[in-house]
Homo-oligomer: A and B are copies of this chain.
């Protein structure tokens, strides 16, 4: 018997992956959680029918969410990750020696629990002593924070289910308040092939709040279209003006100093969305 997991990334297009077995399936308080063992991409976390991360290609997303804002900020000490219960972003954050404390606020404790069990190379960093894992509502956490963080990363699902409010302007205003005066924030902002309107709206909202707003991309095979965008809002530091000597060596498989800058060169149709 051959088992295949198929994700309709749109109503009309999708990916399909041969699987060895289902490791866990559960309707949590917040979403449908499935963990499957695929042949091509290793273990794969699926939330509400959308691939969140896989053992094989997770490094792209996690490195690109973390290192671009962390190298943009000259001295990030206190970092907040909203969502990201699989722990991959935290793992990358901890590679920066300036970071003294990394707070993770994940709404769904089950994501943390099953990532630790089935994605240990990703979630292992959550046990580091610099990490504070809070199972709580990231939206509320942001609303209650003031001038607390150097860098905030929003590692959400796509804008369905519990993540909808993480794409609203009020949330970005809260993030601005939660950041220190020279803080930097980044959000994953989906793909430009099937989510043009989302990218346009989010960019407009963030650029009305932050003096510096920039979009960059990375290639993630298991995400819709393979081309993913990230939007940075920054109060003071420009990701395109990081001095050369600020880049230190980092253990990575996707991110490089050259990629840091090149990722902001947008395909014309993507740049046109922001005009």
Residues of A within 8 A of B (CB): 6, 10-18, 38-41, 57, 60, 193, 217, 219-221, 225-227, 252-256, 258-259, 261-269, 271
Contact = CB atoms under 8 A, between A and B. Distances in A.
A233 B159 CA distance: 44
B60 A41 contact: no
Contacts of A6: 16
6 tightest A-B contacts by CB? A226-B226, A262-B265, A262-B262, A12-B39, A13-B40, A12-B40
Nearest to A219: B227
A168 to B, nearest CB: 28
A152 to B, nearest CB: 25
A121 to B, nearest CB: 16
10 contacts: A12-B17, A12-B40, A60-B267, A219-B219, A254-B268, A256-B265, A256-B267, A256-B268, A256-B271, A258-B265
A6 B18 CA distance: 13
A219 B269 CA distance: 12
